[in-house]
Amino acid sequence: MSHTEPILAEFLTLEALAAELQRNKRTLDRWDALGIGPPRTRVGRRVLYRRASVQKWLLEQESDGRGCDNNSHDKSNARKGDRA
């Protein structure tokens, strides 16, 4: 008899991810509504997060510590270039 890994083993529930990030479930829902949170999958009414996708999203949240992320920095440079 072979042991197979459960199909949802690579996923976290909304509750589990909220606990890992030390955030409220409503915060994750708000992030999703704003389009700024990690990607999520719905199975019926159940919300699931793929671990690898959450890890990738977390890496994308890194900043250089100068108070702006790469995206806002790029946008401000584009606007400066438009004015010149």
pLDDT for 64:
78
Domain boundaries, given as residue ranges, for the chain: 12-62
Q: What is the mean pLDDT of each run of 10 residues along the chain (84 residues)?
A: 84 98 98 97 96 97 74 48 48
pTM recorded for the entire structure: 0.71
* DSSP character string of 12-58: EEHHHHHHHHT--HHHHHHHHHHT-S---EEETTEEEEEHHHHHHHH
DSSP state, residue 76: H
| pLDDT per residue as tens digits for the range 25-41 | 999 999 999 999 999 99
